[in-house]
């Protein structure tokens, strides 16, 4: 989202410095609209909130224009459990929060809505992604599937079933993307299910680092590879934002947020969300860190909102987008 404002800021002020933290800093590398990338390690910045804010206020004196975009959407357009707004009636939350995240970031920076979030792979990264695709996809169309997001409501409970059917019915290779280490067990569960359902795991690929301390799939390789796919499917998560404005078709599996929040200004995107007649809590505009604040599906296995997205709908949408 931050990348969306950088071209206009550079045009307006001449030079742009981005202050960021590793390893997320990788998404700003090779961005032609960034003149200086200042990267801090975890623990470098103050942990106390008042000291943290004071650190940024002090840095702000060094620039003609300075803006801290941390929590520009979180806590403003989607609420955390520790906020009073989290507990307000859902109708109030919808009235306050049903705005484009991108447009809100542009508002904070005082810029018009020329929203264009981008990730810029290097020539070498593009070549590596194409080589990986050619080596493992066996000439098939490639679907990139982002396994999870940062919150429990972003876990699609029918992932394994849908992936197995994409391979068998659409003759596609499916490449699973996920967070280092964290999503490895889910990937193994998907692999086991695909073997049971299809007889083998042919066509199933993994773009995920087993060891977060020694990543074989760092964030830049991850997003560059997703850009090389024929279709991207996933929840609201970083790699999906990395292809938001790319021409490849995308299927967004929404959970707590609305289409206005996430996919306004995206291109070639089918946004799937719960039917509010069946799931009246959607959209809740809440960040769920624990299941006790989230409405569960009938079987109790996942969030009601994302569970309402049927596999048949996902498959039909994927078929339409791949064949169009």
Give residues with Cβ within 8 angstroms of 241, minimum separation 6: 1, 117
Rounded Cα distance between 169 and 243, Å, is: 25
pLDDT of 23: 87
pLDDT of 152: 87
Residue 255 domain flag = yes
Per the structure, the count of domains in the chain is 2
Rounded Cα distance between 265 and 8, Å, is: 16
Question: 73, 108, 143 — which closes off a domain?
Answer: 108
Which residue range forms the structural domain that includes residue 26? Answer: 2-108
pLDDT of 67: 97
pLDDT of 148: 87
Strands (E) located in the chain: 17-21, 36-40, 141-146, 172-177, 204-207, 231-234, 250-253, 269-272
pLDDT of 179: 87
Rounded Cα distance between 307 and 177, Å, is: 20
Rounded Cα distance between 6 and 1, Å, is: 10
pLDDT of 228: 97
pLDDT of 177: 96
- Residues of the chain under the 50 pLDDT cut: none
What's the DSSP call for residue 275?
-
Q: Could you tell me the pTM of the whole model?
A: 0.96
Q: Are residues 73 and 201 in the same domain?
A: no
Residue 307 domain flag = yes
Q: What is the largest CA-CA distance in the chain?
A: 63
Q: Are residues 133 and 94 in the same domain?
A: no
pLDDT of 41: 93
pLDDT of 139: 87
């Amino acid at each position: 989202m931050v990348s969306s404002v950088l071209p206009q800021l550079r045009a307006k002020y001449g030079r742009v410095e981005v202050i960021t933290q590793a390893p997320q800093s990788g998404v700003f590398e090779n961005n032609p609209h960034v003149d200086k990338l200042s990267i801090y390690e975890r623990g470098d910045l103050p942990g106390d909130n008042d000291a943290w804010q004071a650190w940024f206020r002090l840095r702000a004196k060094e620039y003609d224009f300075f803006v801290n975009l941390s929590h520009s959407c979180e806590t403003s357009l989607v609420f955390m459990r520790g906020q009073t707004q989290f507990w307000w009636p859902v109708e109030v939350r919808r009235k306050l929060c049903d705005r484009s995240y991108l447009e809100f970031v542009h508002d904070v920076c005082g810029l018009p809505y020329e929203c264009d979030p981008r990730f810029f792979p290097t020539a070498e990264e593009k070549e590596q992604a194409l080589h990986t695709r050619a080596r493992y996809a066996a000439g098939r169309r490639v679907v990139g599937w982002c396994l999870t997001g940062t919150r429990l409501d972003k876990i699609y409970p029918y992932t394994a079933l849908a992936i197995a059917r994409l391979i068998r019915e659409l003759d596609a290779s499916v490449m699973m993307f996920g967070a280092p280490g964290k999503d490895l067990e889910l990937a193994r569960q998907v692999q086991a299910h695909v073997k049971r359902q299809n007889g083998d795991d042919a066509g199933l690929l993994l773009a995920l680092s087993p060891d977060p301390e020694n990543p074989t799939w760092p964030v830049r390789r991850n997003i560059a590879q997703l850009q090389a796919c024929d279709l991207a499917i996933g929840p609201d998560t970083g790699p999906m934002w990395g292809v938001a404005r790319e021409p490849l078709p995308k299927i967004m599996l929404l959970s707590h947020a609305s289409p206005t929040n996430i996919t306004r200004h995206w291109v070639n995107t089918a946004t799937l969300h719960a039917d509010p007649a069946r799931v009246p809590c959607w959209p809740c505009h809440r960040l769920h860190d624990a299941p006790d604040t989230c409405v569960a599906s009938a079987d109790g296995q996942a969030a009601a909102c994302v569970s309402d997205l049927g596999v048949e709908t996902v498959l039909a949408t994927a078929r339409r987008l791949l064949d169009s």
